[in-house]
Chains A and B, each alone.
Chain A
Amino acid sequence: DAGITQSPRHKVTETGTPVTLRCHQTENHRYMYWYRQDPGHGLRLIHYSYGVKDTDKGEVSDGYSVSRSKTEDFLLTLESATSSQTSVYFCAISESGGETQYFGPGTRLLVL
């Protein structure tokens, strides 16, 4: 199994508060991704990174920002959480952009 961890695994927060989710990998893969999973939508890409300090937006990036200061860590920040951001968040990694993506265990976020 790919060495990917996500923290926290569960979080409950209030509307308007900032939230940061962390993805950590031990595989030294160049690409890292953040997805959200909602019923009826499968997984949708929020942001991805193709190297340290290199990031780009996915299809549902509004309200989210990311940072990658080290190869192994990719942070997802909700600047001011809203109830519509209640979801399960998955991090994924791949060696290159076209290779298979391997997923972390997910983070369940509830915004009240």
Chain B
Amino acid sequence: AQKITQTQPGMFVQEKEAVTLDCTYDTSDPSYGLFWYKQPSSGEMIFLIYQGSYDQQNATEGRYSLNFQKARKSANLVISASQLGDSAMYFCAMRGDWGGYNKLIFGAGTRLAVHP
């Protein structure tokens, strides 16, 4: 069965420093995708970054990068040069195959607080 685990309920980081949010996954499918979403206090879900299981390079989007270690089944999000606006909940998700259809499975999330 597919599963996403985020072991850090809360993290804090000083402004301008880098932070890594952990995500491990479990799947038996050879083809899958991993996503990170940000949920600020206003409540919307914002797509940040995507990594495909066959992608050779780690995904990057601006200050966000995904540290993809396939053998360890981890897909950690790295935020460089943290800003106060990065304070939010962050969700890792995996595209899973349930009965032939692709669906997203979410972790429980990590709350990040950026301190000035």
CB-based contact A98/B103 at 8 Å? no
Confirm or deny: A50 has a beta carbon within 8 angstroms of a beta carbon on chain B.
Answer: yes
Given contacts A56-B101, A90-B45, A100-B47, contact A44 B106 (CB under 8 A): yes
A91 to nearest B CB, angstroms?
A: 10
A101 to nearest B CB, angstroms?
A: 6
Confirm or deny: A45 has a beta carbon within 8 angstroms of a beta carbon on chain B.
Answer: yes
Picked from A56, A98, A106, the residue with its CB within 8 Å of the CB of B44 is A106
Give the bracket for the number of chain B residues in contact with chain A.
Answer: 20 to 34
- Chain A positions within 8 Å of B116 at CB level: none
A46 to nearest B CB, angstroms?
A: 11
A98 to nearest B CB, angstroms?
A: 5
B76 to nearest A CB, angstroms?
A: 17
B18-77 residues at the A interface, CB under 8 angstroms: 33, 35, 37, 43-47, 50
B8 to nearest A CB, angstroms?
A: 14
B→A interface (CB under 8 Å)? 4, 33, 35, 37, 43-47, 50, 91, 93, 95, 99, 101-109
